Amino acid sequence: MRGFPAKLRLQPGLFLAFALAATSLTACADLDSALFGDEADTASFDSAPAAVAPPPTAGGFGNTSVPMPMAAAAPAVGGALVATITPIQISAGGDTGTQVNKTIQSIRAQIQGLQQKIGSSAARLAQLRGEGAGAAQAYQSSKARITARLQIGTTRGNPELVAEWNNAQASLDSLSGNINSLNALGTDVTNDSSGAHFALNQIAATRNVSGAVDEDHRQLALLEDETSQTIVLIDRLLKEISDNVQRSTAYAANERSNLTVLSNAIKSGELYGALTTPVASGAMTSQQLASAGSPLVVIKFDRPDVDYQQILYAALNQALQARPSAGFEVVAVSPSKGNAASVQIAQTTARRQAQDVMRSMTDMGVPATRLGVASTTDPAAGGNEVRVFVR
């Protein structure tokens, strides 16, 4: 385990409530890699789709009656039933013997098939909702157990928490696969919507065909209304699918970021967020952060084995509270005293220490695109320093 020797000087008014938004849907496939510096693998969202609920087992569509498909039983989630969409019943029509009526029967069969697909898609949506809720609940349970253990204190890199973190990661991956299945379902329902609109156009064209009797036009009018209702149901189903995808995607993105923060907390053996009072009096405003010109944090590497990460985390949090879009400049500072060889060695060491600080900041959830690194010398510096500035 790498030590972090440092001595800190912290600007006043730093609170702990770090809430940095996630910028991607990537995560480490294994916590050991995330914690101990191995090459991280990007988690794939292309997991196998969830099992599809079978279509309602109502009787087949006959020539004289059309049984309404049974609504899918919605799984209970948190004590509430997941809403479903119930298909409508398509009215039957007698055969008048005309060529127009044969076309009407063909269109009716198309709409009946679409109604059956609506029932199957509604059942599948209910199932995916239940599976997504289950994955979210499992993730939150693992996250809560990790947080509770860190809150009371534990060892660095505790293997029990590593295993719990991997369980949370697996649950989040399941939720990502659930999102893929919802997207696939949305594609299927979109195709059904195209079929329903095509049938509506067929009905309008059939009305202008000669050789029909009055009964044919009566059946056409009724079938047109039922097709319009079918389109309404399909649009409602598409909206529910889209809303679920958006909610789940935002949730997964945010929790990927939270997992990154938790992995670093497990590595250090303490929970970021333990500080609930100001580090020093006097909160800094965004204007002060922009105009002060002084570093947010100064880490002096003049003695070994001083953990700086908790205070660095609090400092970053305060800066982002004052200015959510803030970026950070990490400057490696080395003394300019001594011969050329010692100055060169000090500069190399300071740059490596600055890279370590940057790595800690990314572990805490700061996007790499918001970070910059530089190096300089300072005759007044008694030893190597890393200074973090808000930009």
Q: Is the separation of the CB atoms in 124 and 53 below 8 Å?
A: yes
- The rounded mean pLDDT for the chain is 76
Q: 256 and 26 in contact (C-beta within 8 Å)?
A: yes
The CA distance from 242 to 331, in Å, is: 45
Higher pLDDT, 260 or 104: 104
Q: What topology is assigned to 7-18+273-390 in CATH?
A: 60s Ribosomal Protein L30; Chain: A; (3.30.1330)
Kindly state the average pLDDT of the residues 45-56.
38
Using CA atoms, how far apart are residues 79 and 86, in angstroms rounded to an integer? 21
- Residue 35 reports pLDDT greater than 80: no
pTM of the model: 0.57
Mean pLDDT of the 99-124 span: 93
**Span 192-209, average pLDDT:** 93
Q: Is the dihedral of CA 111, 113, 114, 115 positive or negative?
A: positive
Q: How far is CA 236 from CA 273, 296, 301, 326, in A?
A: 42, 51, 61, 41
Q: Per mean pLDDT, which range of 110-124, 181-195, 296-310, 377-391 is the poorest?
A: 296-310
The residue length of the chain stands at 391
Query: 337 and 379 in contact (C-beta within 8 Å)?
Result: yes
204-218, 308-322, 369-383: least confidently modelled range:
308-322
Q: What percent of the chain has pLDDT over 70?
A: 73
For residues 96 and 24, which has the higher predicted lDDT (pLDDT)?
Answer: 96
Query: Class of 76-267 per CATH?
Result: mainly alpha
75 in Cβ contact with 53 (< 8 Å): no
Which alpha helices (DSSP H) does 269-339 contain, by range?
286-291, 309-322
Residue 4 has pLDDT above 80, yes or no: no
Task: State the pLDDT at residue 24.
Answer: 37
| 306 vs 114, more confident | 114
Is-contact 77 162, C-beta < 8 A?
no
The amino acid sitting at 343 is V
Whole-angstrom distance, CA of residue 134 vs CA of residue 249: 16
48-62, 165-179, 283-297, 361-375 — which is least confidently predicted? 48-62
CA dihedral (33, 37, 38, 44) in degrees, to 10, reads 50
pLDDT at 110: 94
142 close to 167: Cβ distance less than 8 angstroms = yes
The domains of the chain are located at 7-18+273-390, 76-267
**Which band of pLDDT confidence, cut at 50, 70 and 90, is reported for residue 284?**
very low
Distance CA 32, CA 40 (A): 9
- Cα separation, 131 vs 79, in Å, equals 15
> Is the predicted pLDDT of residue 49 greater than 70, yes or no?
no
Q: How confident is the model at residue 318 (pLDDT cuts 50, 70, 90)?
A: confident
C-alpha pair distances (Å), 119 with each of 74, 85, 115, 127: 12, 7, 6, 12
pLDDT of 345: 86
Helix (H) or strand (E) holding 298: strand 297-300
